[in-house]
Amino acid sequence: MDRKQLLDTLTQITLENKTFAEALLLKSEIELSNSPSDDSWSILECIEHLNLYGNFYLPEIASCIAKADKSNCNLFKSGFLGNYFVKLIQPKPRLNKMKTAAKMNPKGRRLTKNCLEVFIRQQNQLLDLLQKAHTTDLTQLKTKISISRFLRLRLGDTLQFMVYHNQRHIEQVRSIMTSKL
C-alpha cells in the first residue's frame, strides 16, 4: 500500500471526525448525555471512550515517530495481527457490537462537553502525527497496544486502528442522533 495514499485517507477521515465533533458542541449537554437505552452509551460516553484510547495511543505514536529516522520507504505492508484488528474495527454498514475493556468503558461517568473539547484537541494531535508520519517507515516502526504489554503493531496498523476506531464510534454517535428523532 502506498504510504502517502494511506496517510491522506486517514487524514481525511480524521478531519471529518473533528468537524463532526465541533458541530456537536452546539448541542445541549442534556441531549449529549442521554443514551437511547440503559445498555447503550450516550454521545458523550462514545466520545469519552475515544478520549481514553487517545490518552494511550497518541503518546505511544508520538514517541515512536520522535525516535524514528527519516525514511524514503513509500510503501506500507500491514502485519497479520494489525490487519486483523483493522478489519475488525473498521465501520461496516451494520455495526457489530464489541465488548470494550473495563478501563476504556465510560458508562456511568459524569461527563460534560469538555470531553468533546478533549476529543477535538486529540484529533488535532492526530493530524499532526499523521503529517509527521509521511517521513517515517510505517512498516518497520512498532507501537505498544492497549490490550497487551507484549504485543506490538506496525505504526501504520496502529494509525489505521486509531482512525477507524474513531470513525466507528462517530458512526455510532450519528446512529444515536437519528434514533432520537
Binning the chain into helix, strand and coil, the percentages to the nearest 5 are 60, 5, 30
- The grid cell for 88 is 475488525
Give yes or no for residue 50 having a pLDDT over 90. Answer: yes
Give the burial class of 125: count Cβ atoms within 10 A of its Cβ; 0-12 exposed, 13-18 middle, 19 or more buried.
middle
DSSP class of residue 156 equals H
pTM (predicted TM-score): 0.91
Give yes or no for residue 56 having a pLDDT over 50. Answer: yes
Of 5-14, 111-120, 141-150, the least confident: 141-150
- Res 98: pLDDT: 64
Nearest Cα to Cα of residue 44 among 89, 110, 99, 101? 110
**pLDDT tens digits for range 99-140:** 776 667 778 788 999 999 999 999 999 999 999 999 999 999
Structural element, H or E, at residue 5: helix 3-24
- Res 180: pLDDT: 62
- Res 96: pLDDT: 64
**pLDDT tens digits for range 28-48:** 999 999 887 777 899 999 999
